[in-house]
Structure 1
Amino acid sequence: MNPVLKDKDEPNKIYYRTRSSLNLNNPRFSDGLIEAAGGEEGKRGWFGRMFSGKHAAAFIAALLVGALVVWWTVLSAGNASGGLGTQAAVTLSVFAVAVWFWIFSEIDDTYVALGAAVLLVVMGVLPEKILFDSLGDDTVWLLLGSFVVAAGITASGLATRAAAFIVSGAKSPRQLMHLSGAALVATAFAVPSTSGRAALAMPVFLALSSVLRERPRLVLALALLFPSVILLSAVGSYLGAGAHLITSQILATGGYPAFSFTDWMFYGLPLAVVASVICVELVLYLFTDREERSRPLSIAVSDLQNHTTIKIRGRLTPDQMKTCWLVSGVIVMWCTEPMHGIHPAIIALAGGLLMSSTGLGVVDLGKALKSVPWSLLIFMAATLAMGSALVTSGAAAWAADSMLGSIKQGGTGAGILFVTIIVVISTAAHLVIQSRSARSAVLIPIVVSLAPEVGVSAVAAAFASTAAAGFCHTMSSSAKPMALYAKVDDAPTYSGRDLLKLSMWLAPISVALVLLFAFYVWPLIGMPLFVK
């Protein structure tokens, strides 16, 4: 996550690109943006401006791509068996440079992905039609409609009211944590993207932290619980993360069946529930003592109402009632897709139109569209195009064979070793590539290319890799929800040491849990890991 500006009065505080923390109406921020735009940049000459920032990045990228293309082409030419072709070398070179910028530069991830996709088109590797089609892909329309629906949920305050009602029934810290976790798991089906869910849940956390201000250890545990469960439970829904849609599209490009909303929920929801329950117990054990856990708890809806402007007492407001019926209808239609055959994207768009309509809606369409993270949609479309180029050019197959090809010599244990390595790499990948979608764009083409050669189902291996990538808790910069809850005013929150403490336990548990589901649970319910 890249900082976008700094507070002038507090120069050490960095504001990130999140709706809840960035207020452009604040004059301090507006002045800061003006100074950032015209400060040192205006003092440089044309040469300095030309070779600074994105210009320098583009220049370096061009040199690196050229060098890698030459190197890989020469390497391939010396291989008598015909290794890496020219187009594959170009694709792999552009992709390697994009990954380098994602890891080591502060340039926006979307800028890098879109630049890489355009470069592949210019170099003749990626057909223009594929890039243009990716921008109009059904997954993009699915997310667009879902974000409009989510804007209605936020505007009505329904989610905050529902969460307040749920947690008010808690009589102990353990009940409070598990009820909060259950509410967070449910949001995966209504709000696309983990950062959107984190922002939606923030008012509930702030109200709880105010009510429980005399119990700072419990508030700290809640601060860790909210983003942790949001990230782990994302695997339960097809819309839980953009990486899920990328994985499905890469499978379709490779000739494998793509996931539907129902299929993903069928396999992912059990893992999401189990992982969330384990996470709750782990946070309780690590960050609260026995005395804190044994103290009774009483939270009334009236107590929470005093700390939020959203109406959470009494009867549902008309907007909340309409939102409840609309969201329920959309989710039911998604879950029953095999029965009626209507595409999930059409359902999402219809739900978005109803949510913003004059009679039934609760939010203006223009305002809802302004809340859509267009950068995320463009990033996903660009990475879809890049993933397609990796598969169709043969670059993914060559990279998979070069990096993990020796596993094929492992006999009957090759498949087990392959899946284990993929799950471990996917779990640790957040340490170098912060974007989950980017991690899927890098890993899934390789997984899909090599899995059949070691007797493993490409679909099952891709799903396991994507599920494992849901762990990104090690640092606050590892995921947007972790960054959002790391800096909360007037509430005790976690430090970097707390995250490391949690990750030391949660990382191996997450790996073991995904492997358990991949080897035993998913094959029992219809997704076999090994192919004959």
Structure 2
Amino acid sequence: MGKNKAKIGFILGIIVAVLIGMADIPGLARSGQICMALSFMTVIFWGFQIAQPGYTSALYLVLLAVFGVEKPGLIFSTWTTSMMFLIIGAYLIAGAVKDSGLGERIAYKFIISFVTSFKSIIVAIFALTFILSLLIPHPWPRAFLIMSVMAVVIKSANIPREDAVKIGFTVFASSVPVSLIFLTGDAAISPLAIQQAGVPVGWLEWFKLMGPPSIIVSIITCFMILFLFKPTQEIQINKDDMRQKLAGLGPMSGKEKRTAFWITLAILLWMTDSMHGIEIGWVTIVIAVAMSMPLIGEILTPASWSGVPLHVLLFLTAAVAIGRVGGSTGMNTWIAQTVLPSTVPTDPYILAAFIATVSIVIHMLLGSVIAVMGIVIPAMIAFTSQMGITPLVPALLAYSAVASHYVLPFQHLNMLVGLGDDNGMYTQKETIRLGIPFIIVIYIMTVVIEVPYWTMLGLFDK
């Protein structure tokens, strides 16, 4: 089925590109038409997963340049900003925290101090995800680190397989809402939303805008999991095994201490970016580089570069290029005027519900957070441009909806990476069970929480 799906997607993408390229489209320049043809082809390739996204993204970027749709400087403009270096640095720092043993030590100490029952395990997973999101700026290594600690908890407490699956699912499900709290909580997609909005937002400003709504949604998610995934029996936690594991790590090593120092400095510089004026991307890459230096670092090694996925960087470059090249060629404006309603809802609550609905529907069809952000955010910014409000509003509303939404595992990489016996142990059944009712929570987040909160902050002022 997988190979047939890839073949169907490959042929369909080419057919759609040819049809759009040959069509007579009034009101759209030829460069915008070619951009649309290549963009839709690429999005179909992503949606059908015809190949690793790095390959299809590279093809899209090169074709934009070959067909002269825009200058390479704009097509690859993501690399001239600090965003890419934030992502590269984030992967390197995440690897340093994991490989040094610092993250594991923190997790064991937390579990020993606070975990006593199944309910406390679920709450502890959310708390640990929140704490480690400050130290490890990417959700996947955080989740796998927490999962490795939970594997010890599951084994030492003789937790039944059925309940162990619920714990594993929680580890990865918690990463979805918690990753939205900090700008560095998911260093891949959060900066992407800011880049597409075109409005500079610092670490503290992001936390002011997205922190409170995301914290509330994280708490709601925790309660939903406790309600939907009750244990089959009460659990007795044997903390001796975890104490032995912690003791096995030995006293805090020099490598851990140096890692703790650089991470602490990174957090302080992230939090004060509005004061010192250095973008957090430059801060992040410099901290990562310092971790490789003799005397002061000796944490990262040449092998650490293997933890930086080039295909993800190309994927992000292509996602940003869809928005930027689509904007410069008129594609975004044409889509907004042709596909979306002719009048923009003036009521912010209706607007939020509309953006959330469009985002969810397209995400259900395409199943890629980054791909949908690449299409929806630029279109919604063009759609609301006449309202006179900051582009942050449509960008963050769409981001909130897309980055929180999944029903099937493939629709969110945070859930996909944990799927299976060797990872989080859960199946598609668990994601559907939480994902379907969670759609209501997305509307609560965007319409009920963010609109009045952002109105209070003045984001809807013209």
**Same fold, TM exceeding 0.5?**
yes
Cα separation, 2, equivalents of 1:376 and 1:142: 13
Of 435-444 and 105-114, more deviation after overlay is shown by: 105-114
Cα separation, 1, equivalents of 2:109 and 2:57: 42
Residues 1:75 and 2:13 are matched in the alignment: no
TM-fit CA distance, 1:304? 2.3
Divergent runs of 4+, >6 A:
56-60
Cα separation, 1, equivalents of 2:429 and 2:314: 35
The CA deviation string for residues 101-139 of structure 1, in whole angstroms up to 9 with x for no partner, is 111242222222221122122222211222344334311
- Aligned partner of 2:196 in structure 1 is 250
- Aligned partner of 2:326 in structure 1 is 390
| Contact 1:110/1:378 (8 A) holds in 2 | yes
Residues 1:401 and 2:353 are matched in the alignment: no
Residues 1:283 and 2:216 are matched in the alignment: no
Residues 1:498 and 2:442 are matched in the alignment: no
Cα separation, 2, equivalents of 1:62 and 1:494: 36
TM-fit CA distance, 1:443? 0.9
Of 333-342 and 420-429, more deviation after overlay is shown by: 420-429
| Contact 1:217/1:288 (8 A) holds in 2 | no
Tell me which of 226, 232, 237 is aligned to 2:182: 237
Tell me which of 318, 325, 331 is aligned to 2:267: 331
- Aligned partner of 1:41 in structure 2 is none
One-letter amino acid of the counterpart of residue 192, structure 1: P
Relative to 1, partners in 2 of residues 1:151 and 1:404: Cα closer, same or farther, differing over 3 Å?
A: same
Residues 1:119 and 2:63 are matched in the alignment: yes
Give the RMSD, CA atoms, in angstroms.
2.7
The CA deviation string for residues 472-503 of structure 1, in whole angstroms up to 9 with x for no partner, is 442222233323333134x9933322222212
- Aligned partner of 2:444 in structure 1 is 512
Tell me which of 374, 378, 386 is aligned to 2:310: 374
Residues 1:522 and 2:460 are matched in the alignment: no
TM-fit CA distance, 1:286? 1.1
The CA deviation string for residues 283-308 of structure 1, in whole angstroms up to 9 with x for no partner, is 1111115x84xx464342x41255x6
Cα separation, 2, equivalents of 1:435 and 1:190: 26
One-letter amino acid of the counterpart of residue 459, structure 1: L
| 1:441-456 correspondence runs (5 A) | 441-454=374-387, 456=389
Tell me which of 321, 324, 330 is aligned to 2:257: 321
- Aligned partner of 2:401 in structure 1 is 468
| Contact 1:89/1:395 (8 A) holds in 2 | yes
One-letter amino acid of the counterpart of residue 483, structure 1: L
TM-fit CA distance, 1:146? 2.0
Q: Percent identity?
A: 18
Cα separation, 2, equivalents of 1:476 and 1:380: 20
| Contact 1:167/1:299 (8 A) holds in 2 | no
- Aligned partner of 1:34 in structure 2 is none
- Aligned partner of 1:27 in structure 2 is none
| Contact 1:451/1:457 (8 A) holds in 2 | no
Relative to 1, partners in 2 of residues 1:473 and 1:297: Cα closer, same or farther, differing over 3 Å?
A: farther
- Aligned partner of 1:483 in structure 2 is 416
Relative to 1, partners in 2 of residues 1:218 and 1:64: Cα closer, same or farther, differing over 3 Å?
A: closer
Relative to 1, partners in 2 of residues 1:361 and 1:108: Cα closer, same or farther, differing over 3 Å?
A: same
Q: What is the TM-score with the length of structure 1 in the denominator?
A: 0.79
Corresponding pairs, count:
457
One-letter amino acid of the counterpart of residue 298, structure 1: I
Cα separation, 1, equivalents of 2:20 and 2:120: 56
Of 230-239 and 453-462, more deviation after overlay is shown by: 453-462
| Contact 2:290/2:296 (8 A) holds in 1 | yes
Residues 1:66 and 2:18 are matched in the alignment: yes
One-letter amino acid of the counterpart of residue 374, structure 1: L
Cα separation, 1, equivalents of 2:11 and 2:108: 52
Cα separation, 1, equivalents of 2:16 and 2:147: 42
Of 463-472 and 189-198, more deviation after overlay is shown by: 189-198
| 1:155-166 correspondence runs (5 A) | 155-166=99-110
- Aligned partner of 1:44 in structure 2 is none
Relative to 1, partners in 2 of residues 1:173 and 1:258: Cα closer, same or farther, differing over 3 Å?
A: same
Q: What is the TM-score with the length of structure 2 in the denominator?
A: 0.90
Tell me which of 422, 425, 450 is aligned to 2:355: 422
Residues 1:227 and 2:172 are matched in the alignment: yes
